[in-house]
Structure 1
């Protein structure tokens, strides 16, 4: 009699997992449902018997000692049910297979849109074009020509599956597979709709009205349930996801619900103080420049930032000040500055205390100004 280890193609030191893996590989190749030849059937019996002996620790021990090679579980389907169900479909005693439904849920769709920063502050309405699957207007999802309907498959009698009984050393094994004639639906369509080719849906471009709320951030995805692709057979639609991309603004940037900007102030205005008007994203804003303003000071304008995604209280507009020192002076201007320097008795330049928080927020903006 052939050696069980040779039959499975493993060494005598093979682990339980290696024996199981080898058996699965051979069972896929030799099972009567896959390979109906007589030689394959005989080899399948040998492979199954070898596995039956070597998969059980006690029977394998007896076999290795030259004892009975029949093993202790031969002929008992027992622990192999999960293997055959995995390889060849549900066996006898399993759950009754049901036919597939032609109505399937449609796939989700993803559309990317670009917004301006001003759209983010207040929200915006957009009509977007979506190329997707829609319900076939000719057959309304029935997949059939007008006046016709699906008919019961004469192979599987409407079950969507076919069964085959195979005798083996493990007993009678019943395999269940989708019917090849109706593809598991249990019905066939003799006269498919010419518009959708029996799919129940067609590709089309449609317009989706979209209200984008204020406060959305770059990369955020908005979900529109039921606005994606219509499923096959007129099945329910998937979801539509809108991915937001916010374009950079030349003047303003966003930090949370606040807007950031940089204000260049002439040295004379920083010394004496003044008032100015700046243009925000939603109109002009009056701004007071107090006397003695320094580079790095931050002026805060309340409630002129971004409306939060889930709230009503707007953030602030924070303006970082950059005092601009003149680089070209005429002789008269230079004399005035020299006179001011002599009379002011300003201290010599020195290192000051380092303000990490302020520096981290404004250094990049000032560096690029």
Structure 2
């Protein structure tokens, strides 16, 4: 069982943003690689602290975690945690390295010693993927072509002379409290510790070229319109000893011709004639994975809602599958011939034609209330 994020950082659920950041910095410094070279247990605790901070420092992710716990992210929702449990050490230093301040030399790896340069992460790419309701319900694998910046063949880099390969420059300033030393990202190499040495003619000023790449994206069932998924390391490269950025995939849902989606539930409007409502009938209706036959009892009323269990959309968080709600609408004819009109005039006062709802028949507002509860 996964350990509670609040317990990992040693805080309570009421902790504010500043307290969460302070607690993470304390844990990160305690288990930092420069203090624990070659210590596998410290490495694991360092990554867990980063994972906890990744979730709790984001208000939206924190709210989901407080409501659902680890299950809110275990099935691909939003592309996973995106935190320590799913990143390598370079990812952690790239995203959270500034929190460590000048306490260490800018990252490095376990067993690598202090004072090394950190690997810069390339920029992210963003694309939009359109999905049908069928693809969303069943999950799908999409292949997309993206243009990525990658390091050119034959390009080489050399140690940055400004920071001597450290990726940071140290500054000493005089204050009323005395001489203070601070570290900041090297302005020459951008923190990578390397600058361009040789490049082929087709490369840009950073030694990069644009290349087309086909990327396979596994999209889990139950995604929603506007959700973003992350494909790690499929963004742009950065110069030098860097790691690629990520490919951010925004989901766009294509509206279905007959079915309307509401969370995990689907809605279908079924129109039947007055005669069909009186006599009862079997009907084929549109479901997400093909047609489904339902039987309408004789005397069915307009506004009746039939619930087909498990015929909706799977939950992105693994909490089962929604239902298909069939809304029965009795179509009143607008024009009648002479014989038809005579039939209804003859029966207008018949007791079988006079509305007489039973106590068990719910009103429209009660049905709406039930539908949303």
Confirm or deny that 1:328 pairs with 2:335.
Answer: yes
- Are residues 320 and 230 of structure 1, via their aligned partners in 2, closer, same or farther at CA, if it must alter by over 3 Å? same
Residues 135 and 234, structure 1, Cα contact 8 Å, conserved in 2: no
2:143–2:216 Cα contact (<8 Å) kept: yes
- In structure 2, do the counterparts of structure 1 residues 282 and 190 end up closer, same or farther at CA, with 3 Å as the change threshold? closer
* Paired position in structure 1 for 2:97: none
Correspondence for 2:300:
293
Number of corresponding residues: 259
- Structure 2 CA distance for partners of 1:265 and 1:101, relative to 1, 3 Å: same
- 2:163 and 2:281 map into 1 onto residues whose CA distance is 89
Per the alignment, residue 365 of structure 2 pairs with 356
Relative to structure 2, which stretch is displaced further, 259-268 or 185-194? 185-194
In structure 2, how many angstroms separate the alpha carbons of the residues matched to 1:166 and 1:301? 71
Q: Give the superposition deviation at 1:357.
A: 4.0
How far the C-alpha of 1:266 sits from its partner, in A, is: 0.4
Q: Does 1:258 pair with 2:274?
A: no
Instruction: Give unmatched runs, 5+ long, in structure 2.
Output: 1-101, 107-114
**Cα distance, 1:196 vs. partner?**
2.4
Moved over 4 A (4+): 94-103, 155-167, 170-190, 345-350, 359-362
1:1-369 aligned at under 5 Å gives the runs 103-136=119-152, 138-139=153-154, 143-144=155-156, 150=158, 153=161, 189=196, 191-197=198-204, 199-311=206-318, 313-344=320-351, 346-347=353-354, 354-359=363-368
Structure 1 portions without partners, runs of 5+: 1-93, 363-369
| 2:194–2:240 CA contact under 8 A, matched in 1 | no
| Partners of 1:103 and 1:232 within 8 A in 2 | no
SS at match of 1:320: strand
Counterpart secondary structure, 2:347 = helix
> Secondary structure, in 3 states, of the residue corresponding to 2:135?
helix
Instruction: Describe the SS at the equivalent of 1:222.
Output: strand
CA radius of gyration, larger in: 1
213-222 or 158-167: which moved more? 158-167
**Cα deviation, residue 131, structure 1:** 2.0
Deviation at 1:217, TM superposition (A): 0.6
- Compute the TM-score of the two structures, normalised by the length of structure 2: 0.57
Give the deviation of 1:161 after TM superposition.
8.8
